[in-house]
Every structure is written in structure tokens, then in C-alpha cells.
């Protein structure tokens, strides 16, 4: 399915079920109205190398999107949904994979990573964008916000990147938050404090009282 909707180079995707409110269905006494689940649609967001972006795709990525039907066929292409913003440091050069979280029938969050340009291309950040679901598959996205992570240096470290030996890699990406026992727990990719260079990758964990943070690692 990712290949079917791909308009560039697609690396990772996140899929979330939405409820469509604008479908008009004719029913008869012998054909009851379908349940809410039967009207469900999906929002797919994925990384792509935009046609107007120069360089290696992973260095200049953006987030594309599509609305999918129950059988995962494409209903509507959304084109680029999120793009790098030169005026916002943490996402000024490239965007990284993320995850969607539907918090109620009309509101969802997209958590994703980003980084500035060289010489800080490998200094990664995580932020989020809140969306309000409208009719006709439209989503009004608010301005992206950077998430604050506390005590990162206490448990995690920089790593070396074989293609960029002149830069330290602050790996902080792939956010996936869940709600458990009154708190929000965010799983993410990070680099552990270990001497086993260059293999330092690990699954990190951060916790917060509010979905938007701040999170303590």
C-alpha cells in the first residue's frame, strides 16, 4: 500500500483509524444503518523524499499522507502534509518517522522527529502537531510544537554515524506514546550509554503527566 501511494521515496508510515462523518447511506427496513465501525476510515502518514527537495532523501525528508478506505484502498491523496520549516530550528532541514494518536472522535496528535541542517543534521528532536478532524476528510493542523525531554544526558548518549564522522548523532526519534496508569509513556529510539561502539541503539522510555509533555527520560 505504501508503494501504491508513494510520490517519492517512502521509508516509514503510521496508520490511524478515523471516523468519517460525511457519508450519506440509504437504508431500508430490511437494511439497518451500518455501525460506526463500518464507516471507519484510515489516515496514513509516511516519510517521503519530496520532488522539490535536494540531496539524499533521508537528509531532506517530508511527511506525505492519504485517506484510506476499510480495505486500505486510497480514497484521497493528501500530498505533503508536513514539510521542513527553515524558520523553526528543530525541524528546519528534515523530518523523521512518527506515530498518530487519536485522543477522541475529533482530535488526534501526530508525534514525529526532525532536525536542523548541517552542522547539526544529526541532532534530532521530537515534536508534535495537534489536528482537528473536519468533514470531507479534512484535518486542521495546528502549529507544530517541540517536546521538552528532561534528563536526556543521564541515561542516553551520542553515537557515531559512519557516513558523517565529523558529527555526533543525538538519536531521538520514532516516538510512540501510550496511556497507562494515569500517565503517558513514550517509547522512542535512542542511543544507550555503552562502550560497544558503534552499536549503541536502544529503545528509550519517557514519562509525562500530560500528552504534550514535558517528558522525563
Give per-residue pLDDT as tens, 150-172.
998 888 988 887 778 888 889 99
User: Is the pLDDT confidence value at 196 over 70?
Assistant: no
Entry pTM: 0.80
Write the pLDDT tens digit of every residue in 70-120: 888 999 899 899 999 999 999 998 899 899 999 988 899 999 999 998 888
- 108-144: per-residue pLDDT in tens? 999 999 999 888 888 999 999 999 988 777 899 999 9
DSSP collapsed to 3 states, the chain = CHHHHCCCCCCCEEEEEEECCCCCCCCECCECCCCCHHHEEEEEEEEEECCCCCCCHHHCEEEEEEEECCCCCEEEEEEEEECCCCCCHHHCCEEEEEEEEEEECCEEEEEEEEECCCCCCCECEEEEEEEEECCCCCEEECCCEECCEECHHHHECCEEECCEEEEEEECCEEEEEEEECCEEEEEEEEEECCCCCCCCEEEEEEEECCCCCCEEC
Q: What is the pLDDT of residue 39?
A: 45
Identify the CATH number of the domain defined by range 2-23+33-216.
2.115.10.20
Average pLDDT value for residue range 25-38 = 36
> What pLDDT does residue 152 have?
87
Q: What is the pLDDT of residue 188?
A: 95
Write down the domain spans for the chain.
2-23+33-216
pLDDT given for residue 117 in this prediction: 86
Amino acid at each position: 500500500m505504501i508503494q501504491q501511494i508513494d510520490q517519492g521515496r517512502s521509508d516509514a508510515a503510521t496508520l490511524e483509524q478515523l471516523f468519517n462523518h460525511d457519508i450519506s447511506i440509504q437504508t431500508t427496513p430490511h437494511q439497518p444503518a451500518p455501525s460506526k465501525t463500518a464507516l471507519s476510515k484510515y489516515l496514513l502518514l509516511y516519510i517521503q523524499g519530496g520532488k522539490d527537495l535536494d540531496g539524499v532523501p533521508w537528509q531532506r525528508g517530508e511527511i506525505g499522507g492519504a485517506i484510506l478506505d476499510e480495505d486500505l484502498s486510497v480514497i484521497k491523496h493528501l500530498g505533503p502534509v508536513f514539510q521542513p520549516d527553515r524558520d523553526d530550528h528543530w525541524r528546519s532541514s528534515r523530518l523523521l518517522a512518527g506515530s498518530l494518536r487519536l485522543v477522541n472522535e475529533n482530535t488526534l496528535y501526530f508525534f514525529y522527529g526532525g532536525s536542523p541542517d548541517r552542522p547539526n543534521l544529526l541532532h534530532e528532536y521530537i515534536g508534535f502537531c495537534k489536528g482537528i478532524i473536519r468533514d470531507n476528510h479534512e484535518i486542521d493542523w495546528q502549529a507544530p510544537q517541540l517536546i521538552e525531554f528532561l534528563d536526556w544526558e543521564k541515561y542516553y548518549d551520542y553515537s557515531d554515524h559512519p557516513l558523517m564522522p565529523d558529527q555526533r548523532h543525538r538519536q531521538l526519534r520514532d516516538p510512540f506514546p501510550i496511556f497507562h496508569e494515569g500517565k503517558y509513556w513514550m517509547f522512542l529510539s535512542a542511543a544507550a550509554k555503552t562502550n560497544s561502539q558503534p552499536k549503541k541503539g536502544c529503545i528509550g522510555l519517557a514519562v509525562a503527566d500530560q500528552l504534550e509533555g514535558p517528558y522525563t527520560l
